[in-house]
Structure 1
Amino acid sequence: MHDKQPAKRGRTPKVAPEVAPEVKAVPDGVTAAFEDFMGAFEAFKEVNDRRLAEIEEKLVSDVVTRDKVERINKAMDDQSRMIDEMLLKKMRPSLSRGGAGEIEAAEHKAAFDAYIRRGDESGLRELEAKAMSAGTPADGGYLVPPETDSEIGRRLSVVSPVRALATVRQVSGSVLKKPFSPAGMTAGWVSETAARPQTGTAQLAELSFPTMELYAMPAASQALLDDAAVDIEAWIAGEVDIAFAEQEGTAFVSGDGVNKPKGLLSYDQVADGVWEWGKIGYVATGAAGAFSAAGASDVLVDVVYALKAGHRQNASFLMSRKTQGQIRKFKDADGNYIWQPPAKAGDPASLMGFPVAEAEDMPAIAADATSIAFGDFRAGYLVVDRVGVRVLRDPYSAKPYVLFYTTKRVGGGVQNFEAIKLLKFSAN
């Protein structure tokens, strides 16, 4: 072996570079809340498995175990609701800062702000004259700026689940008429020299979707309007969007069609075996106000396969949070939970591989209630929006407050009756 050579004079020995410590990203509020939700789900599965084992062994579960399952189940619902609210805040769109229409948008915003704060209509009238448009209806009022209009529409799609699932059309008139063919053309086989008799012609049905007026009337003091630090447009959107969304959500589910959209549960319902166009088919659970004791989840499979394959591939479940909490306890024949949590924050939970949308307007489980809907809602339900949200400033009716009469015209109804099926909690 050779001895080590001494280091040469004048040369600095090499030093290993210092390795910077690994910096871990701090999870944001949504990520942290989602991790807590997933942890709660793991705890839920563990306790629910214990409950099922107790039932299998002793034919009854311990009351402590049952209470613990319900507490964790409720905690998961609360955590899911908190995540939804946090995501709703994050989805607030930022106003555009560029583009060809930046100058026009800025002028409209400034003119609208002057109208809201001081009742000064001159700027909006000048803009209407430039555009040669009639923005003021017979009863007065002005179109809100595009930023506010899109803000309200975007937040509605989050709060109102049916709107997010359905097809949305914008119209300039008061009614949307849509032709639909319940049955296509007929065809037949013939030999080379046989006569070709005339085949049946496709019949068209006309569906009509009138738009109804939805309104809100928030009030503000003049002191609030004089405060330049207050974003009036954001305030109007914040006051109006939740009120509009709650009314819409109820109407899209159970509205009777009188001065409001017709909800999907308001149409005639028949057993799926005798389904016909114009009605919505349902599958019965076999027990009044409950799932069947024998194979509780089997009826969910029946509902899934009651839908045609073309609609099934785009289908979703629609139910309330409480109904979803009950289904969360079900397992398939292999012992796997049929309800699965979302893959990441913002995604829907899944039931047997299909997304689950929560609609608190869906009825709770009760005798003869149709508490679960399953279908391709984009093909099955149509939401009609008349373009524009209007605001009329009223400083006289409620002094010393200024009222803002805000209106939007919305319609809706089923456009394809075979694309939606219901689960009815009844014996037959």
Structure 2
Amino acid sequence: MSEETSNFEIKAATGGEGDVAGMFSTFMSAFEQFKQTNDARLAEIERRGRVDVLTEDKLERLNAVLDGAKSAIDRQALDRARPRLEGGRIEANDEYKQGFAAYVKRGEEKALSIGSNPDGGYLVPAETETEISRLLTGISPIRAIASVRQVSSSVYRKPVTLAGPAVGWVAETAARPQTASQTIDALDFPTAELYAMPAATSAFLDDAAVDVGQWIAEEVNAAFAAQETAAFIGGNGVNKPRGFLDVPQVAEADWAWESLGYVATGEAGAFPDAHESDVLIDLVYALKAGYRQNANWVMNRRTQGALRKLKDADGNYLWQPAASPGGRASLMGFELVEAEDMPDIGAGTTPIAFGDFRRGYLVVDRQGVNVLRDPYSAKPYVLFYTTKRVGGGVQDFDAIKLLKFAAE
């Protein structure tokens, strides 16, 4: 490993120069070295038919550096965008927010009757609920690109038109033929309870400077995001959202409503030996033009690492880094969303999804986040059983396509 590669790893691990611009510069420098190393790898294959193990090792290290640096940039950008909820003081006329802070810190309940829940606990103030949703959108990859709808009931029913009425052209004085009725169906999106249980010491809660709304939002945010992302991708719909990979999958030529179409690579567990990128082009054009305009790639970082090495017929890299800090990398001109719950490349797996997720996948949030204070179960810690209700599922089965690593 070269000294330069080692420096990149150190900068990625420590946050680079300590600011977003510095970390982004480190990221771009690492990508340039990655391209040079991969070019050397391809030249070795062409010249000797094999790759030197040191070159392969260096390439994998640079791949890891790119992943780590991008994660650090995203975290820094999210932290900078985070507002304070209480600003160190509570307005006199905001009685509920003041009462909620007293409940979290000291267990006082007398001012919270309007936010009580029949199952126990209290609703968080509106600002805290908004902050939880904002933070989830920032780190939950599928939520960030899907449609999100707030509802007040446990099930959201969405009507969908499967076939519209017959239409056509007719002369001004000609008879008007009777048109067929349109076909309408309904999709149900039930919500299920998602919970987290952050803990705090009494000393921490006694600190007058603690912004309890911000603290709860930050504590539950990562736990909520991890659980809901896994469900949005692979959930079976039983007491959780139904993920898009749980929908029946059929070859694109046989696609029908209530299934997702896939394009096969032609090789079990691998890209084809020749013209590897052709299957990606096939996947892009399996999606109708109206969906391609706002389409995203979805895959995990290991799959993304494999795609970084691919070039087009003119020798250009298909994968390109984000143009600015906080942006997304792109593949063949379409933004790439990294979701760790997507499967790895393997025989019969579908590790790459491509589609307009805004039209294709719906996230349903039931209004209200509930907090129940428990100072008894884990003394000396105080537990906060925090729940929200979330649902999700595919709403347009033609808007998402998959790449399947299989012979057919």
TM over 0.5: yes
Alpha-carbon distance between aligned partners in 1 of 2:44 and 2:383, rounded to the nearest angstrom: 61
Q: Which residue of 1 aligns with 2:301?
A: 321
Q: Which residue of 2 aligns with 1:268?
A: 248
Q: Displacement, 1:302?
A: 0.5
Alpha-carbon distance between aligned partners in 1 of 2:91 and 2:181, rounded to the nearest angstrom: 52
Summarize deviations over 1:262-281 as a string: whole Å, max 9, x none: 00100001000010001010
Mapping 1:176-255, distance limit 5 Å: 176-190=156-170, 195-255=175-235
1:393 aligns with 2:369: no
Q: 1:401 and 1:77, CA in 2 relative to 1: closer, same or farther beyond 3 A? A: closer
Q: Which consecutive residues of structure 2, in runs of 5 or more, have no partner in the other structure?
A: 1-16
Mapping 1:10-409, distance limit 5 Å: 29-95=19-85, 104=93, 106-125=94-113, 128=114, 135-190=115-170, 195-409=175-389
Secondary structure of 1:152's match? Answer: helix
Alpha-carbon distance between aligned partners in 1 of 2:284 and 2:141, rounded to the nearest angstrom: 20
Secondary structure of 2:138's match? Answer: helix
Q: 1:166 and 1:103, CA in 2 relative to 1: closer, same or farther beyond 3 A? A: farther
> What is the TM-score with the length of structure 2 in the denominator?
0.91
The aligned amino acid for 1:55 is I
> Are the equivalent residues in 1 in contact too, given 2:86–2:211 (CA < 8 A)?
no
Report the aligned-residue RMSD.
1.8
Alpha-carbon distance between aligned partners in 2 of 1:259 and 1:407, rounded to the nearest angstrom: 14
Q: 1:399 and 1:51, CA in 2 relative to 1: closer, same or farther beyond 3 A? A: closer
Alpha-carbon distance between aligned partners in 1 of 2:172 and 2:335, rounded to the nearest angstrom: 50
Secondary structure of 2:336's match? Answer: strand
Alpha-carbon distance between aligned partners in 2 of 1:418 and 1:335, rounded to the nearest angstrom: 32
Q: Displacement, 1:194?
A: 5.4
Secondary structure of 1:378's match? Answer: helix
Alpha-carbon distance between aligned partners in 2 of 1:222 and 1:381, rounded to the nearest angstrom: 42
> Are the equivalent residues in 1 in contact too, given 2:138–2:144 (CA < 8 A)?
yes
Runs of 4+ in structure 1 over 4 Å off: 101-104, 189-195
Alpha-carbon distance between aligned partners in 2 of 1:384 and 1:244, rounded to the nearest angstrom: 14
Alpha-carbon distance between aligned partners in 2 of 1:115 and 1:95, rounded to the nearest angstrom: 17
> Are the equivalent residues in 1 in contact too, given 2:107–2:373 (CA < 8 A)?
yes
Summarize deviations over 1:329-373 as a string: whole Å, max 9, x none: 000001111111110001100100000000001011111111000
Alpha-carbon distance between aligned partners in 1 of 2:92 and 2:379, rounded to the nearest angstrom: 36
Alpha-carbon distance between aligned partners in 1 of 2:197 and 2:96, rounded to the nearest angstrom: 22
Alpha-carbon distance between aligned partners in 2 of 1:34 and 1:401, rounded to the nearest angstrom: 40
Alpha-carbon distance between aligned partners in 2 of 1:235 and 1:400, rounded to the nearest angstrom: 19
Q: Which residue of 1 aligns with 2:398?
A: 418
Structure label with greater radius of gyration = 1
Alpha-carbon distance between aligned partners in 2 of 1:274 and 1:212, rounded to the nearest angstrom: 33
Alpha-carbon distance between aligned partners in 1 of 2:189 and 2:91, rounded to the nearest angstrom: 35
- Percent identity between matched residues is 61
Summarize deviations over 1:12-41 as a string: whole Å, max 9, x none: xxxxxxxxxxxxxxx861110000000011
Number of paired residues? 390
